Amino acid sequence: MTKTLKPPEDPVDGNLASAADIPPAVLSRLHMLTQRADFQRATRAPHAAKPGFVLQMRKRRADEPVAPDVIRTGFTCSKKVGNAVARNRAKRRLREIARLALPQLGLPGHDYVLIGRKGATADLPFAQLQADFTAALSVLHGKSR
C-alpha cells in the first residue's frame, strides 16, 4: 500500500519566512576579497600565526573605493595544503570560523585574510580553530590600537 503525499499548505497571510529566518543585518557588512592586489596589500600588514591558520589584518585607507563600515575577508590555501579537495575543505572551515566570529569581533574598515596551513586547517578540531581565531583577532586588534 503506497501513501500519497500532500503538498504543504500555503500560509494564509502570504508570508513564507518567519522572523527567525531573517539573518541579522550585521552579516551584510561582510564582503569577500577577490582582487590579487588586496591580498598582496594584506601580506604587508600585521599577522598572527596559529597552529591551524595565519590571520592577516589590514586597515583600509580612506581613499579606497570601499564603504568604511564594511568588513572584507579573504581565504587562501597554497598547494602545500594538498590537492584541490583538501584545499577546498580547509577553506570551507576557514570561511565558517570567519562567518561566525567576524560580524561581532571584526573591526569595520578592515580586511582580514586567513591562510590555511598544511596538515592542520582541515584536521584540527573546529572548536580549537574557533578559539584560535578569537585569540588571533584579539592579538591583532591590540596591535592596531
Give tens-digit pLDDT for 20-43. Answer: 544 454 444 678 998 999 999 999
Q: What is the DSSP letter of 92?
A: H
CATH 3.30.70.260 fits 27-144, yes or no: no
pTM: 0.76
Nearest C-alpha neighbor of 134 from the set 119, 110, 112, 108: 112
Domain ranges of the chain: 27-144
Distance of CA 99 to the CA centre of its chain: 4
Cα(143)–Cα(100) distance, rounded to whole angstroms? 22
pLDDT digits 0-9 by tens, 82-92: 999 999 999 99
pLDDT digits 0-9 by tens, 49-72: 999 999 999 998 888 888 888 899
